Structure 1
C-alpha cells in the first residue's frame, strides 16, 4: 500500500512539471503573438489554454482522492496540499498568457504596443519565461538555489512594470487612451505571471523546509491604483 501511495505522490509531482512546461510553451507563443502581431500564434495560445485547465482539474481530482483515501500526514500532507495550490498558480499563469494572446488578436493587424515600450515588454516576457523555467527546475530538483534566482528575476519584473507606469505618465506619451489601457493591463498580466512563479517557488521551499517565509519580491509598485488580474 505504501508503494502505491508513493507512486501516486510521484505522479502528482510529474503532472505539476508537465503543466508548468505547457505554461512555458504558452507564454513563449504569447510573446511571439504579442510582440510580432502574429494572429495565428495568438489563436494557438488561446485554444491551447483548455489543455492546461484540463490537466489542472485532473491533478486536483487526483490530489483530493489521495487526501480522502490515504490520509497523508506530515511532509506527505504538505506535498498534496501544496500541489493543489501550485496547480492553481500554474493554471492562472496559463490564463494570463491567454489574456496576452487575446490582446494581440483583438488589436490585429495593429501592434498592441507603441514602439517606445517594445523593449521593456520584451524584457518582461523574457524574465517571466526565465521564472517559469526556474519553476520547472525547482519542481523537478527541489534545488532551493533556483528559488533565489526566481526572486531576483521577479524583482527585475517589478522594476520594468514601474518603467511602464513612468512611460504612461511622461510628457512624451502621445498614444490614445485605448492603447494606454491595453499597455496597463498587459504589463499587469506579465507582473502577475511573475508573482505566481514566486508563489510556486515559495511553496516548494515550504515542502522542503517545513517553514513558510514570505517574500518581499511580491510587493506591488507604489504610487498607482490596484489593477486586478489574478
Structure 2
C-alpha cells in the first residue's frame, strides 16, 4: 500500500513537471509565431491548449483522490495542496501563451510588432521559456537553490516589461494606438507568465521547508 501511495505522490510531481514542459513549448511556439507572423504555429498553440487543460485536470483529480482516500499529513499534505495550486499556476501560463498566439492570428497577415520592439519580445520569450523549464526542473529535483534562481530570472522579465512603457511613451512613437495597445497587453502576458513560474517554484520551497517565501502571483 505504501509503495502505491508514494507512486501517487510522485505522479503529482511528474504531472506538474510535464505541464511545465508543455507551457514552455507553447510560449516558445507562440513567440516564434509572433515574431514571424506564423499563422500555422499560432494555430498549433491554440489547438494544443486543451492538452494543458487535460493535464491540469489529471493532476487535480489525483490530488483530490489522495486527500479523500489517504488523508496525507505533514510534507505529504503540502505536496498535495501545492500540486493543486501549482496546476492552476501552470495552466494559467498556458493560457497566457495562448493569448500571445491569438494576437498573431487576430492581426494576420499584418505583423503585430513594429520592428523596434521585436528584439525585446524575442528576449521576453526566451526568458519565459527558461523560467518554465527551470520550474519543471525544480519540481523534479526540489532543488531550493534552483528555485531561488527563478527570482533573478524574473527580475530580467520585469525589466523588459518596464522598458516597454519607455518605448511606448517616447514622443517619436509613430505606430498608433492599436499597436500600442497590442504591445502593452502582450508585454503584460509575458510578465504574468513569468510571475506564475516563480509562484510554482515558491510552492516547491514550501513543500521542502514548510514555509512560503513571499507573496505569490495570482
* Bin of the TM-score, shorter chain as denominator length: over 0.9
Please give the per-residue CA displacement for 1:36-68, whole angstroms capped at 9, x wherever unaligned: 100000000000000000110111011101100
- Rounded to whole Å, the distance in 1 between the matches of 2:129 and 2:22 is 12
Give the superposed CA RMSD. 1.2
- Give 2:211's aligned residue: 211
In 1, Cα distance between the equivalents of 2:106 and 2:200? 31
Distance in 2 (alpha carbons) for counterparts of 1:52 and 1:124: 21
Matches within 5 A, 1:39-54: 39-54=39-54
TM-score (norm 2): 0.97
Partner of 2:97: 97
1:148 CA drift (Å)? 2.2
Residue equivalent to 1:150: 150
Q: In the TM superposition, what are the counterparts of 1:107-186 in structure 2 within 5 Å?
A: 107-186=107-186
* 1:215, distance to aligned residue in structure 2 (A): 5.8
Range with greater deviation from structure 2 (45-54 or 206-215): 206-215
Q: Secondary structure at the match of 1:18?
A: helix
Structure 2 match to 1:222: none
Identify the residue that residue 82 of structure 2 maps to in structure 1. Answer: 82
**Which consecutive unaligned segments of at least 5 residues does structure 2 have?**
none
Answer with 168-177 or 96-105: which moved more. 168-177
Could you tell me which residue of structure 2 aligns to residue 191 of structure 1?
Answer: 191
Match of 2:3 in 1: 3
CA contact (8 A) 2:25 2:129 kept: no
Question: Number of paired residues?
Answer: 218
- Map of 1:56-67 to 2, 5 A cutoff? 56-67=56-67
**1:202 maps to 2:202:** yes
Structure 1: distance between partners of 2:214 and 2:136:
21
Secondary structure of the 1:207 match is: helix
C-alpha distance in 1, partners of 2:149/2:107? 34
Q: State the 1:133 CA deviation.
A: 1.3
Deviation at residue 176 of structure 1 after TM alignment: 1.4
Aligned-pair distance for 1:75?
0.4
CA displacement at 1:136 relative to structure 2 = 1.1
Aligned to 1:204, what secondary structure does the other structure show?
helix
